[in-house]
Amino acid sequence: MDKSYYGRRDRLVQEKEHDVYRTNMKLPEPTGCRECGAVYTKGRWVWGQAPEDAYKTVCPACRRIADKFPVGHIEVRGGFFTGHREEILNLVHNVEKKEKAMHPLERIMEVDDHADYARITTTGIHLARGIGAALSSAYSGEISIKYLAGENCIKVRWAR
């Protein structure tokens, strides 16, 4: 008997990226989100008015929010944050407003504000990265960005 046959271990082929909130099938167009009113048309989610007879579903961002399953994690720390909390959090919300206007699936889920730090969670990677870049650009400081491979997740830390 050939031992190499019995000693063989079949490897499990892993997907490059697994995101249960992203559908592999194309939705019927137009499709409206029951929760936020975003409309799926021409292959993407946009803000707009869906016709009355449009297919209804819940968009990926609303599903993430309901499931409390963020993709972006931002941590803001430091003495500068403590002294400029309101200004920094206004910047964070302004970045979200700008990004969300163009991309309905990019939203802040929660701002967990503490005495000496804040944790912000988002429905999308791009918004989290954009918030980190805006903080770094506006206030300098130290920024750390870590993509978690295979988890479709980003962790951003900013401190000053």
Is 41 part of a structural domain of the chain? no
**Contacts with 80 (C-beta within 8 Å, 6 or more apart), sequence order:** 139, 141, 160
CB atoms within 10 A of CB 118: 19
Q: How far is CA 31 from CA 102, 109, 137, in A?
A: 18, 23, 38
Is 38 part of a structural domain of the chain? no
For residue 149, the enclosing domain spans 66-159
The rounded distance, in Å, linking the Cα atoms of 106 and 21 is 13
Given a cut of 90, is residue 19 above it in pLDDT?
Answer: no
Is 117 part of a structural domain of the chain? yes
The rounded distance, in Å, linking the Cα atoms of 40 and 56 is 10
Is 83 part of a structural domain of the chain? yes
Q: Are strands 153-159 and 72-77 parallel, antiparallel or unpaired?
A: parallel
Q: At what angle do helices 125-139 and 85-102 cross, to 10 degrees?
A: 140
Amino acid at 122: T
pLDDT score of 13: 46
pLDDT score of 113: 95
Q: State the average pLDDT for the chain.
A: 89
Given a cut of 50, is residue 106 above it in pLDDT?
Answer: yes
Average pLDDT for residues 69-94, to the nearest whole number? 96
Percent of the chain with pLDDT strictly greater than 70: 86
Is 138 part of a structural domain of the chain? yes
In this predicted model, what pLDDT tens digit does every residue of 25-69 receive, in sequence order?
Answer: 788 889 999 999 999 999 999 999 999 999 999 999 999 999 999
Is 13 part of a structural domain of the chain? no
**Number of structural domains the chain divides into:** 1
Q: What is the pTM of this model?
A: 0.84
pLDDT score of 7: 53
Secondary structure tally for the chain: helices H, strands E: 5, 9
